[in-house]
Amino acid sequence: MQRRGFLKAAAGAAGAAALPLSACGDGSGDGEVTLKLVAAEYGTGESDTSRRYWEQLAAKFSNQTSGISVDVEIIPWEDIDAKVDRMVEDGNAPDIAQMGPYAAYSSRDLLYSTDELLSITTQANFVPSLAGAGEVNRVQYGMPFVSSSRLLFYNKTLFEAAGLGTDPEDAPKDWDELLDAAQALKDAGVKIPYALPLGPEEAQAETLMWMISGGGAYTDDVGSYTIDSEQNIHTFNWIRDNLVGAGLTYAAPSETNRRTAFADFVKGDVGMLFGHPTLMQDARQEKVDFGIALKLPGRDGPSESTMGVADWIMAFKANGHRSEIGKFLDFVFEDTNVLKFTQRYDLLPTTVSGVERLSEGRKDLQPFLDHLQTAVFYPDNKTSWARVNAELKKQIGKAAEAGGEPPERVLANLQSIAESASTREE
């Protein structure tokens, strides 16, 4: 999830290769249509490549659906957005892309809307908060493929050594309790009491979680940017003065990536950090005894929401295969197919029935599933977000530097960039 931390590893040349799954024609004379699907790589190598999932799914669909075949190309996360951009500009748009934000294409009228493609049953089955995050002007173009939410992880062994409770009910519920826990961990000799990754890899995620916990967000209810809101300024002043300034996190958060923070947690060097479900798998492999807070600790009490992340499927109009795309996507979003992918990578399903089925078998994921309904997402429906996100990754770390530029100045500069980009968007 560009936003995904561990899931962004390059797949290598084999994973990026096109995978023709059928020798069927291109629909130009034999009555058959071959759909072109471009999808992101979620694996870290050949052993867990996404290629196998899409290859099996496409083959199964083609075998049971007369006249439609599917060609699949798997591309590493760090390359897929740029490559699809090139495909579109060169007049070779895929029929379907599973990747990051969709708004840049929907704003140019390049995408089919969801109601032009999917059955009513499939449309109605999306988790409402995720469906809403895929809308532009109340029309859904982005179909949420997989999702994730974030919560506070803590190392039980380190907590116990610091004299802190280890049950989820005892985890920090507000900023004061988080600060007290971080100080206790430091006094007990913990190397990094709270991991604060504001480096360029995924600074936008850490930032949004802290904004939410402080009562703010990137945008307001009508979609206007609010980066320099009073709440967000207060949040970063608190982070700078109470965590970074007190030596309770990394010395240089602006140079620290989430991958580093996760790796340090798995090594047992971090007391607390915000994480997503994939971190559970890695921590278990290294025998880390960890807990997960039931809610995000907020400014004055537990936060009622947290950050949600979705990766999107979008369908391009260029090749005119609306009916065939719709049939394939209805198949993609069947529960069996959704759960096969999400369970492979410890992600969350995006359908109501998928969430219900996963809840029955994966109780450890329940806290993350519970928060999907109220999660706050990136403003992926704004074409300006790509530029804002890029600038935020470069600058937001400065707002947490002890003795550095005042947070209000950093946030005001980012707000100016956002408003400028948003004006061009209109």
pLDDT in tens, 195-218: 999 999 889 999 999 999 999 999
Contacts of 385-392 with C-beta under 8 Å, sequence gap 24+, read 385/101, 385/103, 386/101, 386/104, 387/417, 387/421, 388/218, 388/225, 388/227, 388/414, 388/417, 388/418, 388/421, 389/204, 391/417, 392/203, 392/204, 392/207, 392/227
How far apart (Å, rounded) are the C-alpha atoms in residues 62 and 280? Answer: 35
Give the DSSP letter of residue 6: G
Instruction: Report yes or no: 27 and 330 within 8 Å, Cβ to Cβ.
Output: no
114 closest CA partner among 93, 99, 130, 92: 130
Query: Coil, helix or strand for 36?
Result: strand
Confidence of residue 426 (pLDDT cuts 50, 70, 90): low
Question: What is the reported pLDDT for 100?
Answer: 87
Q: Of residues 188 and 47, which shows the higher confidence score? A: 188
- Give dist(CA 150, CA 277) in Å, integer: 8
The reply to whether domains 5-148+309-377 and 151-305+384-425 share a CATH topology is: yes
Q: What is d(CA 294, CA 272) in angstroms, rounded to the nearest whole number? A: 14
Q: Any residues with CB less than 8 A from the CB of 368 and at least 6 apart, and which? A: 148, 149, 151, 276, 277, 348
**What share of the chain in percent tops pLDDT 90?**
79
Q: How far is CA 381 from the centre of its chain?
A: 14
Rounded CA-CA distance 123/102 in Å is 17
**Least reliable range by pLDDT among 19-33, 283-297, 388-402:** 19-33
Does residue 174 come out as left (phi exceeding 0), alpha (psi in the -120 to 50 range) or beta? Answer: beta
**Burial class of residue 12, CB neighbours in 10 A (0-12, 13-18, 19+):** middle
Q: What is the pLDDT of residue 89?
A: 96
Cα angle 27-31-37, degrees, rounded to a multiple of 5? 40
* pLDDT value, residue 9: 33
Per-residue DSSP letters for 384-416?
A: THHHHHHHHHHHGGGGG-TTSS-HHHHHHHHHH
- 366 vs 304, 336, 399, CA distance in Å? 15, 19, 34
pLDDT at 10 over 90: no
Query: Which pLDDT belongs to residue 363?
Result: 85
Indicate the angle between helix axes 203-213 and 230-238, nearest 10 degrees.
110
pLDDT at 31: 59
Q: What are the residues whose beta carbons fall under 8 Å from the beta carbon of 230, sequence distance 6 or more?
A: none
| Nearest-angstrom CA–CA distance, 40 and 255 | 27
Would you tell me how many other CB atoms lie within 10 Å of the CB of residue 336?
A: 9
Can you give the pLDDT at residue 360? 87
pLDDT cut 70: percent of the chain above it: 92
pLDDT tens digit sequence for 73-102 = 999 988 998 899 999 999 999 999 999 889
pLDDT value at 256 more than 50: yes
Mean pLDDT, range 279-297, rounded to an integer: 94
Q: Which residues touch 204 (CB under 8 Å, ≥6 apart)?
A: 3, 378, 389, 392, 393, 396
CA distance 171 to 163: 12
For 15-131, list the strands marked E by DSSP.
Answer: 18-20, 33-41, 68-76, 96-99
Domain 5-148+309-377, CATH 3.40.190.10 — does that match? yes
The two structure tokens encoding residue 137: 């002007």
- The answer to whether the CB of 312 falls within 8 A of the CB of 102 is yes
- pLDDT for 422 beyond 60: yes
Question: Does the pLDDT value for residue 16 go beyond 90?
Answer: no
Query: Is the pLDDT reported for residue 22 higher than 50?
Result: no
Q: Which residues contact 37 (CB under 8 A, 6 or more apart)?
A: 54, 58, 70, 71, 72, 73, 94, 95, 96, 97, 98, 328
pLDDT exceeds cutoff 70 at 278: yes
The residue count for the chain: 426
- Cα angle 68, 69, 71 (rounded to 5 degrees) comes to 145
Produce one character per residue of 367-377: b if its CB has 16 or more CB atoms within 10 Å, e if not: bbbbbbeebbb
Quickly state the pLDDT bin for 5 (edges 50, 70, 90): very low
* φ, ψ of residue 39 in degrees (nearest 5): -135, 150
Domain boundaries, the chain: 5-148+309-377, 151-305+384-425
Of the pLDDT bands very low, low, confident and very high (cuts 50, 70, 90), residue 281 is confident
Supply the mean pLDDT for the chain: 90
pLDDT-based confidence at residue 425 (cuts at 50, 70, 90): low
Q: What is the pLDDT of residues 338-383, one digit of tens each?
A: 999 998 888 999 999 999 999 887 888 988 998 988 899 999 999 9
What does the DSSP 8-state code read for residue 300? S
- pLDDT in the model for residue 43: 86
pLDDT tens readout for residues 163-189: 999 999 999 999 999 999 999 999 999
Give CATH superfamily name and number for 151-305+384-425: Periplasmic binding protein-like II (3.40.190.10)
The more confident residue out of 242 and 404 is: 242
Assign 6 a pLDDT band (cuts: 50, 70, 90).
Answer: very low
Tokens of residue 196, six digits: 């604060």
- For 107-143, write each residue's pLDDT tens digit: 999 999 999 999 999 999 999 999 999 999 899 999 9
Token pair for 216: 């703010």
Looking at residue 244, the DSSP 8-state letter turns out to be I
Residue 45 pLDDT grade (very low, low, confident, very high; cuts 50, 70, 90): confident
